[in-house]
Amino acid sequence: MGATMTTVNALLKEIYEPDVHDQLNNKVKGFKRIEKSSEGITDDVGGKYVTFPVRTGRNHGIGARNENEALPTPGQQKSAAARVGLKYLYGGINLTGQTLKLASKNFQAFASTLDEEMNGLKRDLAKDVNFQFYGFGTGVRASVTADAANTITVNSIQYLEKDMMIDVLDVTLATTRISNRKITGIVGLVVTYDGADGSASIVATDVVVRTGNANREMTGLGAIVKDTGTLYNIDPTVEPVWKAIVNANGGTNRALTEALMIKVVDDVQTNGGETTVGFTNLGVRRAYYNLLKIDRRYVNTQKFEGGFEGLAFATDEGDIPIVTDTDCPPNRSKG
């Protein structure tokens, strides 16, 4: 009998490609739009802050007068000091001495374990920062809608992943229901976690956060794009121009239209700002794509400043890039 694959099996080599292929979505778009700067970082009242002045009012000591009439009462510029508290983000790795020694060269492993862990950690932290870019600073990733033994049903799994360590807290983030539990599985909207069952204390409306992150994440667009509440030490009831432009749907579903988009851009301009980019999730992007396809019979993508590529939204002030980001919250867009 001749040699077969079975008889020569011990002589055969397994051949692997040299690189580790990533199956995870590591795209970071929103946060990359922010320009980094050390300007304005100062010591203030015992802590580190970024402070910057904001002009909030005009000098209204002006007016039209006839000859020899009293001049307008002198006025002055109005300003406020915005103060941004710094947030600190960390990541950790743990390697044994044996791992460092025995998995560091090409013939021993696909990649240096230390390099792979460090580079992967940087990507993972950048991805988490991109989630925070759209958030409220609270760390909330999902809301609980139902509870059972070692499982919770949530309103969305967009920001949850298997093996993530989570806490479940009440909606005010004041009371911890369960802490430091690993997500062991996700099926539909049902999330399974390890450790002791917390169903005795978890109730609907509770929220899910990454372990230890409650009220510690950076202030994202969710907290910035608001027309109520103090932001960066400035109260919009005292300084009305500090209010963000919010065009909410009032809790009802509505279709995306160019008229809605134009109104937001116009309102931002009226308020003294400029719309330079719009971020959407995949669903809103598809809705906008369909608008262009139906109404204009063409769809073009364009490259914009900063390396962004997306669908263009035409205005009389020029094209605005509509950029798709998988971390952008559903059913809304940010600009």
* pLDDT tens-digit readout, 156-184: 999 999 999 999 999 999 999 999 999 99
Question: Where in the chain are the domains?
Answer: 90-133, 140-210, 245-334
Q: Tell me what pLDDT residue 115 has.
A: 76
Q: Which amino acid is at 21?
A: H
Q: Tell me what pLDDT residue 139 has.
A: 96
How many CB atoms are closer than 10 A to CB 55? Answer: 11
Q: Tell me what pLDDT residue 229 has.
A: 92
Assign domain 140-210 to a CATH class: mainly beta
pTM: predicted TM-score of the whole model, two decimal places? 0.80
Q: Tell me what pLDDT residue 12 has.
A: 63
Alpha-carbon torsion, ordered 152, 153, 154, 159, to 10 deg: 70
Residues lower than pLDDT 70 in the chain: 1-2, 5, 7-8, 10-24, 35-47, 100, 102-112, 251, 294-310, 332-335
Q: Tell me what pLDDT residue 176 has.
A: 96
Q: Which helix (H) or strand (E) holds 182?
A: strand 176-187
Distance CA 150, CA 172 (A): 22
Interacting residues of 245 by C-beta distance below 8 A, sequence separation 6+: 225, 227, 264, 267, 268, 271, 273
Q: Tell me what pLDDT residue 187 has.
A: 97
Q: Tell me what pLDDT residue 109 has.
A: 57
Check: CB of residue 325 under 8 Å from CB of residue 130: yes
Distance CA 322, CA 335 (A): 9
Q: Tell me what pLDDT residue 108 has.
A: 52
